[in-house]
Structure 1
Amino acid sequence: MLPNTSKLTVYHGTNLFSAKVIKYNGIMLNAQRDLTDFGKGFYVTPHRKQAIEWALVKAQDPQVNSTLLKLLHINKDDYLNHPETRIPAFLSYHLNVKQLFSLHGLLFPMPYDSNWFLYKARWKDFVESCRLGMKHPFDFVYGPIGGRHNGTYAIVRPSKLKEQLALNSDKAMQCLSNLRITRLRPVNTNHEKKLNEHFLQRNRNKSVMNHPFLRSVCEELFSISQRSYLDADECAKFSWMAHQISKQESILWNESPTYWAFFILYGNKKLWYNDYESYLVRQQRNKK
């Protein structure tokens, strides 16, 4: 639970390009993703390690909302080919918690809290609704990240330890101060390449069918791309995310199999966030 204190350090993982955009242009709320756990907002965490994990993912997958590029007057190729999009970085801020608590917020306890059973059903309904585009009136929302998805983005389970704070209004973002940027080592180091080569060699004759999350990614890739199932299996098996997702409590579990299917299909060749979210909305409409 967020402590009721005057100052708390919070972190946001991203790539160096986006970190500098935030530093010099401020946080652009309308450029944030729509279908997220607590709605459109700027997400931070009190855990530095968690922000670093996100930064490594964002450097490997440098996607941004096309709205941001319009505001910056640059095209997608300029962004995707910029060297700083591949460099992980995280932002640190001082958060004025007392100022934040004076606003209209929603607080969920973490699953290890003794009161979690009172909030579990509401948290689940709230996150599932936000991931389908529900708008809410809160300036901020705090609680656990939606964890492993069991093959569908619409059905969620809480992460036991990973917590997040969504700042959903300009008033909430004004509670942040003392921005600092920390640049991390680029993702594609020689050590990472050797680990990937070892993983690929070890799994060359295996199918992703043995891993439930990768199987879901493969099925989504098959559906989206209309490739053969064998080809989808190969693409999923030899992808960057297949190596990462095998790690226990990987941050990648917090995105949907559909998200990673789009990642494998398009990589950094295009901006596909809008296509991804439109696809999720169409899927949900077809189920009704």
Structure 2
Amino acid sequence: METNMTLYHGSNIDFEKISLDKAKDKRDFGRGFYTTTIREQAKEWAEILNYRSRRDGCFLYEFTFEKTDNLHIKSFNGITEEWLNFIVENRLKGGVQHSFDVVIGPVANDRTVNTIGLYLSGDYFLDEALRRLEYFKLNDQVSLHTEKALSYLKFIRKYTWTA
């Protein structure tokens, strides 16, 4: 299984080299470098980050990623109990709570986080949380967690603008 994917990363920071040490903690799939296959989603992420940080610049990075059998890849095909438990584990404990080089799946965005919080607090049982989550329009995310995974990511171009 060797296929190329076009991936996008939206940011409020201009950078030349990806550093996993600078990755934020307690994310859906663990600490890593997050991308998406959806250009508009990455652009929106850049604008949200720019607004929150009150910086004056947005950056959209475009990459080609070689999805190869040499990488340990976990893919979630939609919102499932396994996906929800995976996110809960990574968000609660932080760091990387798995051994995958790459994780692919739906984004738990600001709206879904509320449902996940109610699930964690015991207000929703698993079936209710999954039922509520299936109604959200989901974006995707491809997170890279190892230097090995980053070696298959090739920079194409960077777009900049002010929001």
TM-score bracket, shorter-length normalisation: 0.7 to 0.9
Aligned to 1:104: 72
Cα drift, residue 160 of structure 1: 3.6
Identity %: 30
Out of 30, 34, 39, the position equivalent to 1:43 is 34
Greater RCO structure (CA 8 Å; 6+ sep): 2
Aligned to 1:144: 106
1:169 and 2:146 equivalent? yes
Cα drift, residue 30 of structure 1: 1.3
Length-normalised TM-score, structure 1? 0.47
For 2:92, give the aligned amino acid: L
For 2:41, give the aligned amino acid: Q
Cα drift, residue 5 of structure 1: 5.2
Aligned to 2:125: none
Length-normalised TM-score, structure 2? 0.79
What's the secondary structure of 1:132's corresponding residue?
helix
Cα drift, residue 36 of structure 1: 0.3
Aligned to 2:63: 93
Cα drift, residue 124 of structure 1: 0.5
Aligned to 1:57: 48
What's the secondary structure of 1:39's corresponding residue?
coil
CA 1:163–1:153 in structure 2 vs 1: closer, same or farther (change >3 Å)?
farther
Higher strand proportion: 2
Q: Which structure 1 residue ranges, 5 or more long, are not aligned?
A: 63-79, 112-119, 188-288
Q: Which structure 2 residue ranges, 5 or more long, are not aligned?
A: 121-128
Cα drift, residue 6 of structure 1: 3.1
Out of 15, 18, 33, the position equivalent to 2:24 is 33
For 2:26, give the aligned amino acid: L
What's the secondary structure of 2:107's corresponding residue?
strand
Cα RMSD of the aligned pairs, angstroms, is 2.2
1:8 and 2:9 equivalent? no
1:191-233 deviation per Cα after TM superposition (whole angstroms, max 9, x unaligned): xxxxxxxxxxxxxxxxxxxxxxxxxxxxxxxxxxxxxxxxxxx
Aligned to 1:235: none
Q: Is the CA contact (8 Å cut-off) linking 1:55 and 1:89 kept in structure 2?
A: yes
Q: Is the CA contact (8 Å cut-off) linking 1:131 and 1:154 kept in structure 2?
A: no
Distance 2:118 2:143 in 1: 19
CA 1:178–1:161 in structure 2 vs 1: closer, same or farther (change >3 Å)?
same
Distance 2:114 2:155 in 1: 39
Aligned to 1:130: 90
